[in-house]
Amino acid sequence: MSSRRLLTMLCLFLCLFVLSFSALAQDSEMPFIQWVDCPFEVPESETEGETLDCGTLVTYEDHFSDDDPAQVEIPFVILYSNDEPLSGPVIYLEGGPGGSALSSVDTWTESWVRNNSDLILLDQRGTGFSLPSLNCIEEEEYDGDDALEASQACYDRFVDEGINLNTYNSMQSATDISELMTLLQGEMEYTDYNLLGISYGTRLALTLMREYPENIRSVIIDSVYPPNANAYEQQALNNYRGLRMLFDGCNADPDCDNAYPNLEAVFYETFESLNDTPAMYQTTDEQTEEVSEEELTGDSFLDLIVEALYSTTAIPELPLVIYEVSEGNYDAAGMIDTGELSQGFSRQDDAQGDISDSEGMFNAVECIEELPFNSLDAAVETSAVIPDPIHDYLVSSIENQFAVCEMYGLNPADPIETEAVESDIPTLVLAGDYDPITPPADAQLAAESLSNSFYFEFPSHGHGITDVDDCAVSIIAQFLTDPTVEPDGSCIDDYEAPVWVIR
């Protein structure tokens, strides 16, 4: 063998040794970022490496234990600003808990937020494309009578896979995000960040404000889920409050009341009739355009109406839908169920099911930091004012969640997760008055302990204010430009009652 050949081989061996050592060193120095190909189909308007980049945060499953080497992978995407950024990036915190931000990347690529800021989306631990996944395909595919069987099967699989469910909570997720912010400061030269949380994402944002306030420039919390509200003791009443807003709103409008008289009574009659004799209706998948038939019971009809109250654009159509279904036009229910009136998109994975919503992550978070501090007896007592036709069903979903949490048997969070978050970080607090799950009272409760907060309530709006209309965009854009100055919210005065769709 020639000396030149030997030298070449020695150099090759040395290079391989150095690369292997570097990889091992990187693995031992968690957390770290890996830049990867995007796990989703990149929208046609975007180009990887130019308008966006995807990465994965690799970190510990348990940040607070020296004895648990298990890892989690948190995928994220940076959507670069369309113009020179005016401030630090905006980090979007998805709701749920269990929602996948990356599953909605299509809508965020068109967001006005990118006009002046980089926008960072991430799938929180246990959700979406993150690993391990806490999506429960067992619950999605289950069609039996006892839903707890599916929850049990999913839980058993998590245990068999060695997943430590006690580490899937807001505190651990907040630590993930704090690590990501620190690493991106080095890799992207970011100096500070703006947080945007919607629904459960507001709980996560509040946790970050409490635990990791460094380098947070401003916070926007939209449709707030504060830790100091007993959510399950109020859930049924909040659902009924949303329905009450719908019934009273239509009744107060002469045109709506004339077109749909006695709307509340008609709804209750339809609810009972469909539970006695279920019907079938057609629905069209918004992505595949496949048409399928679904059973419509009174319970599922109630769910459809409450879920539609989340959507500001759906609210004006609901009296029409209720009347059409009451008169036997059951396909009218498909106007809601197709997704045309809802927000976001689903992402289907053949092995894992619909990963846009992680049922296991929902159960873990709620069973650790909410249910242990709520009383089922108090929930039943609070719901006593709800009329009989719908009372039992609204309460039953709460009873089911208590049963799921008893089955999961997770450790309750530290009681700090039930306390108001105090902070002087500039915060914009948003609420919609028709919201059936996080009503304005919850947003006001959170704002009380945020000394530099600005509160805005939007009439005729549902759950999620961001990007709904020009007024909301204007207020948020002003705040991001200078979060120390209260935005001009006079455009809210122009809102009127919902413009009901009259047949």
Each residue's pLDDT tens digit, 416-475:
999 999 999 999 999 999 999 999 999 999 999 999 999 999 999 999 999 889 999 999
User: Into how many domains does the chain fold?
Assistant: 1
The percent of residues in the chain predicted with pLDDT above 70, rounded, is 91
**Given a cut of 90, is residue 11 above it in pLDDT?**
no
pLDDT at site 339: 40
Q: Report the CATH number at residue 65.
A: 3.40.50.1820
Mean pLDDT for all residues in the chain = 90
Higher-pLDDT residue of 410 and 286 is 410
**Given a cut of 50, is residue 244 above it in pLDDT?**
yes
CA distance 421 to 209: 8
Q: Which of 258, 274, 221 has the alpha carbon at shortest distance from 464?
A: 221
Higher-pLDDT residue of 323 and 146 is 323
Give a yes or no: residue 315 inside a domain: no
Across the range 401-423, mean pLDDT stands at 97
pLDDT at site 468: 87
pLDDT at site 13: 38
**Given a cut of 80, is residue 3 above it in pLDDT?**
no
**Given a cut of 90, is residue 285 above it in pLDDT?**
no
Give a yes or no: residue 105 inside a domain: yes
Give a yes or no: residue 291 inside a domain: no
Across the range 49-72, mean pLDDT stands at 95
pLDDT at site 20: 38
Residues 298/272, Cβ–Cβ less than 8 Å:
yes
Give a yes or no: residue 180 inside a domain: yes
CA distance 271 to 282: 18
- How big, in percent rounded to 5, are the helix, strand and coil portions of the chain? 45, 15, 35
Number of Cβ within 10 Å of residue 142's Cβ equals 17
In the structure, what pLDDT confidence band is assigned to residue 337 with cuts at 50, 70 and 90? very low
Across the range 131-155, mean pLDDT stands at 91
* Residues with Cβ within 8 Å of residue 45, at least 6 apart in sequence: 51, 109, 110
* Residues with Cβ within 8 Å of residue 300, at least 6 apart in sequence: 294
* Residues with Cβ within 8 Å of residue 219, at least 6 apart in sequence: 194, 195, 196, 197, 205, 209, 425, 426, 427, 428
Amino acid at 306: V
pLDDT at site 186: 94
pLDDT at site 287: 64
Give a yes or no: residue 132 inside a domain: yes
Give a yes or no: residue 150 inside a domain: yes
Which residues pair with residue 427 across a beta bridge? Answer: 219, 453
Give a yes or no: residue 386 inside a domain: no
Give a yes or no: residue 242 inside a domain: no
In the structure, what pLDDT confidence band is assigned to residue 336 with cuts at 50, 70 and 90? confident
* Residues with Cβ within 8 Å of residue 314, at least 6 apart in sequence: 308, 336, 341, 342, 462
- Token reading at 126: 């246990």
Write out the residue range of the structural domain in which residue 206 sits. 26-229+419-503
